Amino acid sequence: MFKTETLLAFLQVARHGSFTKAANLQGQTPMAMSKQVSQLESRLGESLFERSTRKVKLTEFGQAFLARATHIFDQYDLLESWLESRQGKVVGTLRIVSQSGQTYDETVFPWLGEFHRLYPEIELHFDVEENVIDINEHPFDIYWGVADYLGNKHNGLKRRSLWRARYGIFAAPDYLARFGTPETPDDLASHHMVGHLHQQPGNILIVNKNPDSRQTDMEYVEIDAPIKTASSQVPLAVQGLGLVNALEDNHDVKSCLASGKLVPVLPEYWYSSAEIYIYYQQVKIEQPKVRVFVDFFLSKRPQW
């Protein structure tokens, strides 16, 4: 039989890619965490991690073992939550991931104190993964504020809409003064943009080809993107470094529009059906911790 603490140590290191981070979460030393993982590797007769001075990476066997170990712990957590819910409690550890820290800032963190007072026995872990999320590599309870690609890739997930807005194009006034204001999508060929480093390709600007289009499929043009970054596209656009795609009701965008630091570009050609979702696992017995988290923070939507 495997010891629970060694499996838990393995899961924490695998999720965070670091013995130090995992040890801090568990209130242990990195040496103690490493010893537990080594004991598990000895028991299995296989290496779980490729260790180097810079990072910790799962071996091929480690990836396969992670999927099975995660399933075991999910079932254990589900059983524990069900038993506690019968006693009128909602407990457990809730792992949430988003692709942007700003999503938490706008939809979760302002009311986190209230939620914690209502459900003090739920331990919350918030993470940010800016790359494309694969639930097999990133096993979380809730995927918060992720586009429809995740549901298309993993159609077994349940989902609820977090928000829907127009996906616009914005630029700083001084950028437009230097490069001109485009009047049609064809004019964008002479412009450049602040691209997203993890988007493939990283130089696509989402824009409908026809004005006032209500189509659901995104259209785009490829333009020069001398700067690509995983974050802070809006602040860089404010500096006049290029056009930028962003949700119209993004907090930073609204603030910059109000102050005149950014102006809308080609608004009649904006994509009008941008939507992001909350995803969570579809299970036979609904987890109370997931239900109360999703319901509580969606109830705060009018205050965003």
Query: Residue 197: what pLDDT?
Result: 80
Other C-beta atoms closer than 10 Å to the C-beta of 94 total 22
**Model confidence at 259, in pLDDT bands (50, 70, 90)?**
very high
3-class DSSP state for residue 57?
Answer: strand
Q: What is the pLDDT of residues 83-93, one digit of tens each?
A: 666 666 788 89
48-86 burial by CB neighbour count: b if 16+ within 10 A, else e? Answer: bbeeeeeebebeeebeebbeebbeeeeeebbeebeebbe
Residue 228 β-bridge partners: 195
E strands, the chain, are 49-51, 56-58, 92-98, 122-128, 142-147, 158-171, 192-196, 204-206, 220-222, 224-229, 244-247, 263-264, 271-280
Q: Residue 12: is it exposed, middle or buried by C-beta count within 10 angstroms (0-12/13-18/19+)? A: buried
Rounded to two decimals, the pTM is 0.60
Looking at this protein, which amino acid is placed at residue 11? L
Query: Residue 129: what pLDDT?
Result: 85
Residue 227 β-bridge partners: 194
- Percent of the chain topping pLDDT 90: 47
Angle, vertex CA 245, rays to CA 296 and CA 130, nearest 5: 55
Residue 22 reports pLDDT greater than 70: yes
3-class DSSP state for residue 48?
Answer: coil
- Min mean pLDDT across 64-78, 104-118, 187-201, 219-233 is at 64-78
**Model confidence at 155, in pLDDT bands (50, 70, 90)?**
confident
Give the highest mean pLDDT range of 65-74, 80-89, 103-112, 194-203.
103-112
Residue 262, phi then psi, degrees to nearest 5: -130, 155
3-class DSSP state for residue 260?
Answer: coil
**C-alpha 53, offset from chain centre:** 28
Domains and CATH numbers, the chain: 1-66 (1.10.10.10), 90-157+281-304 (3.40.190.10), 164-274 (3.40.190.10)
Q: What is the mean pLDDT of residues 244-265?
A: 93
